[in-house]
Structure 1
Amino acid sequence: MTIASSPSNIDSKVVCGTIAAIRGSVVDVHFPEQLPNLHDILRDDRSTAIEVETYLTPHVIRGLALTPTTGLARGDRLTSTGTSLQVPVGDRLLGRMFNVFGQTIDGKAPIEGGDWRSIHANPQVSQERAIATELFRTGIKVIDLLAPLERGGKAGLFGGAGVGKTVLITEMIHNVVRRLEGVSIFCGIGERSREAEELYREMQEAGVLANTVMMFGQMNESPGARFRVGHAALTMAEYFRDDAHRDVLLMIDNIFRFIQAGSEVSGLMGRLPSRVGYQPTLATELAELEERIFSTPSHSITSVQAVYVPADDLTDPAAAHIFSHLSTSIVLSRKRVSEGLYPAVDPLQSGSKLLTPLVVGDRHYRIAQAVRKTLATYEELKDIIAMLGLEELARHERQVVYRARRLERFLTQPFFTTEQFTGLPGRLVELEDVLDGCERILNDEFSDRSETILYMIGTIDEAPAAQD
């Protein structure tokens, strides 16, 4: 990891060259004497920033513009800064919003001087990583029950457009940040500027902004900036984990946009595409980012990543490669959205490697398996019910259907971040209350009650009040 007190204090070569060709965001630069290092930033007398990507000849490099190339022309002079892209680190970042260059975009005073670090860093060796397994509670019933998160692990929220990925991430921030003694970092990759502004205001109103850092590379920015913003956020997260010795919660929305930006960069650089048009280096580029997220023996970076799934196809190469890095996979279902079951988590496709008796305990494992089995049986019976009707099922099958429908409604939950839209006060539910509620439903305790009393409540004890 490159560390310096400030970008100007780095002892490295500063060389000058002239632009030989410009094709969109790709710029070829000729250097008559020596070449700059890979990943060095080239600048002109304006605000243009170009990152050195590869060497074409002993005197020509190919660079990627991180800013718009409007106004650049052949023959223009560029100077190497002698450093790679850097961002500030330290407690001074808390409560602030940044772009990929480490510049503040919240309208407040800029961050200058102090400690700045290169965004390019290699993951630590495996001996320095912690191997202990610990649950990370979110207060969201269906996740804590069927797809528990790992402290220091990586969780993915998979879903197509409009199924609630950003809402779920925002709710996790609301539930977790208040009781988290560490730092939260939100990294927006290629998402809408409206969402960034709304999230900033929500976190300010919730009183959690003071322990949060926000980093954005929005969808209107160049592919180079969107491709590097994830590494910039991880550089800040690594400082808080390794130097400040604090636990970090890293939210990424949306990791698919990182892959998409890499695909755009690959095409601009002239590389032949691979499967479904993705870049041939997809697996390597994703691993370089994901392998920097882990726990040390003292502190951890826990990551929750929204993953856009093109056309709701979980076999898409981008989704398949992301799956391989995760300890928890939470799949959001458009079908459950249409049924009004929020959060729209698919309980049968979602899962976690932590859901074993040795980690979560026998009671949690037993109840989770019973819930999943009940819901799976109901899914198998739906075709028969649609054709012949519920009355044609055997008595024990009807009981399974009734339990499954009650479980589905109990696992819905009103969110704090959607109170203004639903009119329902948000609920944060502890795991013991979730287990107690599911166990009582599985034991047919509510078989004589309408299933609607279990819809959009917190703990099971709220059901009688909801009935009244």
Structure 2
Amino acid sequence: MSDKTGKIAQVIGPVVDVVFEGEGNIIPPIYTALKIERPDGTDLILEVEQHIGEDTARCVAMESTDGLRRGLEVKNLDRPISVPTGEQIKGRLLNVIGEAIDKLPELNRDNLRSIHQPAPDFDDLTIGTEILTTGIKVIDLLEPYSKGGKIGLFGGAGVGKTVLIMELINNIAKGHDGFSVFTGVGERTREGNDLLREMIESGVMKYGDKFKEGLERGEWNLADVDKEQLAQSQATLVFGQMNEPPGARLRVALSGLTVAEQFRDQGSGGKDVLLFIDNIFRFTQAGSEVSALLGRMPSAVGYQPTLASEMGALQERITSTKNGSITSVQAIYVPADDLTDPAPATTFSFLDATTVLNRKITELGIYPAVDPLESTSRILDPNIVGEEHYNTAQAVKQLLQKYNELQDIIAILGVDELSDDDKLVVHRARRAQRFLSQPFHVAEQFTGLKGVLVPLSETIRGFKMILNGEVDEYPEQAFLNVGTIDDAIEKGKRLLAEVQ
């Protein structure tokens, strides 16, 4: 610990100016962590963001600045904000500065890793071309995800981003033998609580049988946690929720990424890591708040002028190296459903696959509300996914595109005025559109329908049957919220029998 100290000169919300006076008292470098001992005995961590004049550092606080006053002593920690590493963080909940927030034993902080790391060298990178199957029909068929790729879920408020990311955690993380890191950036605390309970119930985070039995009775007794079992957990959660100051929300994405990088690079044979970030827009939003408080001139739509470089610094670190891979799934809020807004638009360029959720599709009652024509994937290529998959996906997109073009005519003249060929397009497109929906495991308590995982081969078979007209006789309602095509046929027969 350095004996260099400064004093608080001014406090403006989460921004604190610290003066380092006296001979030999050098102003700390940018991104250095500083520590204040509050009058009540608790510590507050600051991060140096700007140098003002010869001896003043302008800093951003990682917690609320309530209770601070001018003249309080500030210690220079001589290092950036850092998080603990190693096997000890498995199954744990951390905050932005790497402190445990799960009320379990404190972590050993001897071996820390800075949250500010350079991106891997160009010659260390690898490109993933292997499909990551999710069991969600619309994703696996039309915008397949790649292992070691970056995936973005775009959507406005309340269209189902968090439910989709929870389902992906359910389908991928539970069957994944590698390691998962979930980073909550400026989202609801309740969702973090739900996720922790789900992770414990599914066995991804191992709190032990005694604790799980208590959980079923509605108890939360941390004395029952089995420490040996906890060390075998396959996930770590890092949270900086929406009640935190902007400094914490800005840096928590880097803290979560640092944990993921550490597991990717660990030892000679690193791991395949899954990194879930919900929500990357809140990272940008926090950056905008901090930027304004630091006095920078805002750029387009009021965002920070450093938007592209901040996003680039984060996204370029989320990558796969020869040692191990990071597959990231990022939820991205779209302000006012406008995909051209600078925040989502800046994120687009970094992604391998984009899943766009559309409010118009939620209005049809189709969930997940994925827009099949807006969503894209780098690996939807016949050389990677195979001819059959590629041709089926393109045929489904063409069918839905043709249906979209016909909708104006239908709205004005009605379906009866269409040619026979166009009527057939509408007939099959409506079935294909509804077959893209499916019930989710994580939404069982809301829908009352049992969640399903659909193998890729079954998804392709089902859509080929719809395209070839093999299921034309069944009502379109039979294709809504079912798993495989066999389920749809069974439901269709039942509906026809009821009508007769």
Q: TM-score, normalised by structure 1?
A: 0.96
Deviation of residue 410 (structure 1)?
1.1
Deviation of residue 48 (structure 1)?
1.7
> For residues 64 and 53 of structure 1, what CA distance do their matches in structure 2 show?
7
2:115–2:255 Cα contact (<8 Å) kept = yes
Counterpart among 259, 279, 286 of residue 236 in structure 1? 259
Deviation of residue 107 (structure 1)?
2.5
Residue 308 of structure 1 corresponds to which residue in structure 2? 333
How is 1:67-216 mapped onto 2 (pairs within 5 angstroms)?
67-209=63-205, 210-216=233-239
> For residues 85 and 289 of structure 2, what CA distance do their matches in structure 1 show?
29
Residue 14 of structure 2 corresponds to which residue in structure 1? 25
Deviation of residue 357 (structure 1)?
1.1
> For residues 20 and 132 of structure 1, what CA distance do their matches in structure 2 show?
51
* Secondary structure in 2 matching 1:409: helix
- Counterpart code for 2:14: S
- The C-alpha deviation readout for 1:380-405, integer Å capped at 9, x for no partner, is 11111111111110000010111111
- Counterpart code for 2:17: D
1:390–1:398 Cα contact (<8 Å) kept = yes
Q: Do residues 35 (structure 1) and 27 (structure 2) align?
A: yes
2:128–2:149 Cα contact (<8 Å) kept = no
How is 1:38-437 mapped onto 2 (pairs within 5 angstroms)?
38-46=30-38, 47-209=43-205, 210-243=233-266, 245-437=270-462
* Secondary structure in 1 matching 2:58: strand
2:276–2:328 Cα contact (<8 Å) kept = yes
2:85–2:112 Cα contact (<8 Å) kept = yes
1:190–1:219 Cα contact (<8 Å) kept = yes
> For residues 392 and 204 of structure 2, what CA distance do their matches in structure 1 show?
34
Deviation of residue 44 (structure 1)?
2.0
Q: TM-score, normalised by structure 2?
A: 0.90
- Counterpart code for 1:234: L
> For residues 158 and 73 of structure 1, what CA distance do their matches in structure 2 show?
42
Task: State the 4+ residue runs in structure 1 displaced beyond 4 angstroms.
Answer: none
Identity across matched positions, percent: 51
* Secondary structure in 1 matching 2:477: helix
Deviation of residue 313 (structure 1)?
0.3
1:216–1:229 Cα contact (<8 Å) kept = yes
Deviation of residue 315 (structure 1)?
0.4
Deviation of residue 14 (structure 1)?
4.0
- Counterpart code for 1:77: E
**345-354 vs 107-116, which deviates more?**
107-116
1:253–1:305 Cα contact (<8 Å) kept = yes
Q: Do residues 463 (structure 1) and 491 (structure 2) align?
A: no
* Secondary structure in 1 matching 2:37: coil
Structure 1 unaligned spans of 5+? 1-7
* Secondary structure in 2 matching 1:156: strand
**225-234 vs 62-71, which deviates more?**
62-71
**27-36 vs 414-423, which deviates more?**
27-36
1:153–1:327 Cα contact (<8 Å) kept = yes
* Secondary structure in 2 matching 1:180: coil
* Secondary structure in 2 matching 1:121: coil
- Counterpart code for 1:96: R
Counterpart among 7, 11, 15 of residue 4 in structure 2? 15
2:381–2:390 Cα contact (<8 Å) kept = yes
2:297–2:304 Cα contact (<8 Å) kept = yes
Deviation of residue 264 (structure 1)?
0.5
- The C-alpha deviation readout for 1:230-252, integer Å capped at 9, x for no partner, is 11011110111111511011000
- Counterpart code for 1:128: D
Aligned residue pairs total 457
- The C-alpha deviation readout for 1:114-140, integer Å capped at 9, x for no partner, is 522111101011100013422111111
Deviation of residue 416 (structure 1)?
0.4
> For residues 434 and 67 of structure 2, what CA distance do their matches in structure 1 show?
58
2:152–2:353 Cα contact (<8 Å) kept = yes
* Secondary structure in 1 matching 2:181: strand
- The C-alpha deviation readout for 1:294-320, integer Å capped at 9, x for no partner, is 111242000010000000000000011
> For residues 327 and 273 of structure 2, what CA distance do their matches in structure 1 show?
6
* Secondary structure in 2 matching 1:48: strand
1:67–1:222 Cα contact (<8 Å) kept = yes
- The C-alpha deviation readout for 1:296-351, integer Å capped at 9, x for no partner, is 12420000100000000000000110001111111001111111001000001011
Structure 2 vs 1, CA of residues 359 and 396 (structure 1 numbering), >3 Å: closer, same or farther?
A: same
- Counterpart code for 2:97: F
- Counterpart code for 2:37: D
> For residues 445 and 89 of structure 1, what CA distance do their matches in structure 2 show?
56
